[in-house]
Structures are given as structure tokens and as C-alpha cells.
């Protein structure tokens, strides 16, 4: 199949022709993208996912162009008229972003270390600026995508900067979803604080706990991840603008890097820092590796929690059945009345995707060579996709699952009373060996531990009741060995 010139010029009755070093290319007359975008569309029909899917990335790219125009104008390299055209175009795009996202057509996976994405941004900004100033799209003698919009820049400092900023934007919108999920677990922990149940290790009965303690542990482990996500932002805030092609700063004023970084910080609303060693910063992708690793750790934790929710709700009659998940949809096309834990199952799959994305980021980072890593497009895609998936999944998990969970108190209590694990509460008083013998007998004779205890150990009802109190079995309360048992 040939993809040559696959951008259909018939989509606009009137056409325009643009040229690059490879020759002429026919485009729709009013297209806000140009020849470089068109060739990339031909060359990379890979995932079917355009960069325009990630609005944070497009916003970040446009803000970089706006900051560069301001810096170049301030240094006297860009005329006031052209600077104003670029600034106006960038403001128009960021203020009406949904309208312009379809113009960012390049596939997320592309060769060239992001050059196609940078070119796409240059062309859209230039043409929006031209049209707003009364010119025709493509009249680049009045505002040029490379000479003007891309002045003092290279893809190799623009693209990683834009990806880092877009990830910061994405994390900023992701954190509220994570915090709402933590709050949902904390609310359930409070609701279930008096529900006694049996704890389990290695899928075997352990010692009693409360369902509230179990849910508080979920909240606690996820709350740690809020701090971990927040901690990665400073690493992402160190950028290499001003390094241009390989970090030497060729084709830009030595004052430009600090100036454009300051302008970009103002536009983004959070502080950015120019890297001290721009050559190192141009080839290093350590911040992406760290960010992806943080996302993977969170994915692993949430997948474990989803596994637990599925186990605790299993049954409803032939499984653990300690909690009841809200019914989201019919679970079977053949088994009437069956309800599956579809929300936790979705969360598991999202986690698996994020873990896979992290592996991709690791391979991409390792694959860098010499002064540049050519695989930043895949890294950016994986990280942004992971954040978006988890944001959506966490919102669904909180609202359609966690907040609607009910405790099966009777089932929980029944399993505690029938558990061998409660003998552990008697170890400080009776000793390990005697307790082990009682547990073995109770298990072999299919009897309750309490009944065997009464038979083998003369124990006052008051002491037995005291040792079997929920608070005695779920908190650090210890009776000394040798306590009077009769």
C-alpha cells in the first residue's frame, strides 16, 4: 500500500502548493498545517493516535513558541510585527485549544526525535498567525514556520521541554483524582472501623483485624504516592531550552536560554529551571525514567488493591464474600444474575498497561546514543497515556466502586469465629506450644478454637471474653504468660 501524498487535497476545493527540500506537495488551501506535517502523516501511519489527542502536549508546545517569540523580540532578533503575530496566534490556540487539536495530526510514534511534531507546531502557529493578520495560509514570506516561529530553537530542545511541561500539566490534573480515591478509601475505613474480620497471609487465615483497618491501609499506601508524584515535578521542571541542536547553543544568543526559560515559567504558571549542562540535558532522559517509574509503582499498588477487592467480594456465596461491590452491569450472557467485579478488573488492566509503558520507557532511555535520544516520542506517549488512563480509572474506581462498597458484617464475624487464627491472641498467656496443639486439634476435629480452649484449659469466662475482645485482637494489647486461667 502506498501512502504517498495520502493527505487528500480534494478535502478543500481550492488548493495550495508548498515546497520543501523533497519537492512540491499539494495541500488544502485553508489547512493550518503545511508540507512538513503532510509528509509526516504519509510516513507514520502507525498507531492511528495523533499528537492532538494529548492537549497538554499541544498546549506546552505552543507556550514554548510563545516564550521563544517573546525572548527573540526582546533580544532584537524578531520584529515587533512578527512577534505580535506569533504571540497572538499562540494565545488564540491555547484559549481555544479544542478547535485546534485536529490540526496536530502527526502520529504519536514517529522517527526524528520529535522533529515532525515540532514542525507541525511551527506550521500551525505560523498559519494561525497569518490568517489572523489577513494573509493566506502558506504565505510564509510574511511569517515563516522555521525562520520566525522556530527562531533560536531546535527540535532537540523544544520537544523534550514541551514533553516535560505537558507531563507536569497532566500530573497536576491527575493528582485530584488520586486524592479523591484516597478520600474514598478513608471514608470507608471510618465506616467499617467496627467490622471485625479475619486477616490473611498467603491466602491462609491469619489473625483478626477490622475491615476499617484494611481499608485504611489502602488509603495509606495510596497517600504515599501523592507525595511521590509531587516529588517528580522538580525533575521535570529542569529544561534544556537554549541548547538547540546538541546543547552547545548554536544559532541562538547566549542570553536567550535564561530569558526564554523565564518567559516560559510565567506562561506555564510554575517555575522552570534551565539545566546547568545543556549538552548533558539534551541527551539525558532520566526525568522521564523517574516519572515513569513513579507511575509504575502506583500502578502496581492499585492493581494489588483491585485484586484484594475482587477476592474480598468473591462469591457471593461460594467465596469470601466479606464485602459487596456495587453492581455495575450484568456479568454473563449465559448465567442469569451473575455480577462480575468489572471496575476492579478494568483497573487491573490499566495497571498492566502502565507497567508495560514503563518497560517501553526503560528500553527507549537505554537506546539513546551520543548527544541525543531519538526515542523521546515513545517516552512522551507512554507517560502521558499512563497518566490519562490512571486518571480516568481512578475516577471510575472511586465513584462507581469504592464509595458504594458494603460490608457483609455477618459473614466477616462468622469467619473470625470459625478461624484457627484467633488462637494467636492466647499465645502470651498459654505459650506457643500449647496454642499450636489446640489449633491442630480444632482443625482436625473441625471445631471452634473457643470450644477446644474451654475443654483443655480451665479458663474463667471473664478471661476468655477478655482475650477475645475485638480490641484485644486488633491492637497492641498483651497479656503476660502465667496469667491466672482458672
Nearest-angstrom CA–CA distance, 197 and 208: 6
The closest alpha carbon to 175, from 132, 118, 233, belongs to: 233
Which is it for the CA torsion 43, 48, 54, 59, positive or negative? positive
Contact 126, 148 (CB under 8 A): yes
Query: Exposed, middle or buried: residue 339 (CB in 10 Å: 0-12, 13-18, 19+)?
Result: middle
DSSP for 336-372 reads TT----HHHHHHHHHHHHHHHHHHHHHHHHHT-BTTB
Nearest-angstrom CA–CA distance, 90 and 84: 10
Cis omega before residue 281 (within 30°)? no
The closest alpha carbon to 284, from 233, 230, 240, 231, belongs to: 240
Contacts of 404 (CB under 8 A, 6+ apart): 325, 326
Q: Could you give the residue numbers annotated as active site?
A: 332
Pairing mode of beta strands 196-201, 204-210: antiparallel
Nearest-angstrom CA–CA distance, 24 and 462: 95
User: Cell triple for residue 393?
Assistant: 480509572
Amino acid at each position: 500500500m502506498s501512502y504517498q501524498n495520502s493527505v487528500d487535497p480534494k478535502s478543500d476545493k481550492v488548493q495550495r502548493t508548498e515546497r520543501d527540500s523533497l519537492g512540491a506537495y499539494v495541500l488544502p488551501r485553508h489547512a493550518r498545517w503545511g508540507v512538513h506535517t503532510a509528509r509526516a502523516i504519509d510516513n507514520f501511519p502507525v498507531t492511528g493516535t495523533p499528537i492532538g489527542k494529548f492537549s497538554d502536549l499541544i498546549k506546552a508546545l505552543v507556550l514554548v513558541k510563545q516564550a521563544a517569540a517573546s525572548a527573540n523580540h526582546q533580544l532584537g532578533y524578531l520584529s515587533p510585527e512578527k512577534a505580535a503575530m506569533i504571540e497572538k496566534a499562540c494565545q488564540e490556540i491555547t484559549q481555544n485549544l479544542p478547535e485546534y487539536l485536529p490540526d496536530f495530526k502527526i502520529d504519536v510514534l514517529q522517527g526524528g526525535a520529535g522533529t515532525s511534531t515540532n514542525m507541525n507546531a511551527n506550521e500551525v502557529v505560523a498559519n494561525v498567525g497569518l490568517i489572523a493578520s489577513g494573509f493566506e495560509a502558506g504565505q510564509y514570506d510574511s511569517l515563516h514556520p522555521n525562520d520566525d516561529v522556530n527562531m533560536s530553537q531546535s527540535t532537540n530542545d523544544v520537544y523534550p521541554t514541551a514533553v516535560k511541561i505537558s507531563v507536569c500539566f497532566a500530573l497536576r490534573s491527575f493528582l485530584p483524582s488520586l486524592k479523591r480515591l484516597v478520600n474514598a478509601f478513608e471514608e470507608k475505613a471510618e465506616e467499617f472501623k467496627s467490622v471485625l474480620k479475619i486477616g490473611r497471609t498467603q491466602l491462609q487465615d491469619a489473625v483478626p483485624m477490622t475491615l476499617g483497618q484494611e481499608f485504611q491501609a489502602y488509603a495509606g499506601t495510596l497517600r504515599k504516592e501523592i507525595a511521590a508524584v509531587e516529588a517528580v515535578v522538580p525533575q521535570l521542571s529542569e529544561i534544556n531550552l537554549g541548547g538547540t541542536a546538541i546543547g552547545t547553543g548554536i544559532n541562538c544568543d547566549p542570553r536567550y536560554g535564561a530569558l526564554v526559560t523565564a518567559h516560559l515559567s510565567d506562561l506555564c504558571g510554575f517555575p522552570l529551571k534551565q539545566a546547568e549542562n545543556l549538552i548533558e540535558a539534551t541527551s539525558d532522559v532520566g526525568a522521564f525514567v523517574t516519572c515513569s517509574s513513579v507511575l509504575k509503582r502506583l500502578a502496581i499498588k492499585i492493581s494489588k488493591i483491585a485484586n484484594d477487592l475482587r477476592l474480598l467480594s468473591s462469591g457471593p456465596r461460594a467465596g469470601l464474600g466479606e464485602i459487596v461491590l456495587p453492581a455495575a452491569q450484568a456479568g454473563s450472557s449465559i448465567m442469569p444474575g451473575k455480577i462480575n467485579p468489572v471496575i476492579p478488573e478494568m483497573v487491573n488492566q490499566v495497571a498492566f498497561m502502565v507497567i508495560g509503558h514503563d518497560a517501553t520507557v526503560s528500553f527507549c532511555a537505554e537506546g539513546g546514543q551520543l548527544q541525543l535520544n531519538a526515542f523521546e516520542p515513545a517516552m512522551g506517549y507512554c507517560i502521558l497515556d499512563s497518566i490519562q488512563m490512571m486518571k480516568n480509572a481512578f475516577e471510575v474506581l472511586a465513584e462507581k466502586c469504592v464509595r458504594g462498597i458494603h460490608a457483609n458484617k455477618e459473614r466477616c464475624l462468622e469467619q473470625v469465629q470459625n478461624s484457627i487464627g484467633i488462637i494467636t491472641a492466647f499465645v502470651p498467656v498459654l505459650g506457643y506450644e500449647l496454642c499450636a496443639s489446640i489449633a491442630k486439634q480444632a482443625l482436625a476435629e473441625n471445631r471452634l478454637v473457643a470450644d477446644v480452649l474451654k475443654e483443655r484449659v480451665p479458663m474463667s469466662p471473664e478471661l476468655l471474653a477478655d482475650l477475645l475482645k475485638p480490641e484485644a485482637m486488633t491492637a497492641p494489647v498483651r497479656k503476660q504468660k502465667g496469667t491466672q486461667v482458672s
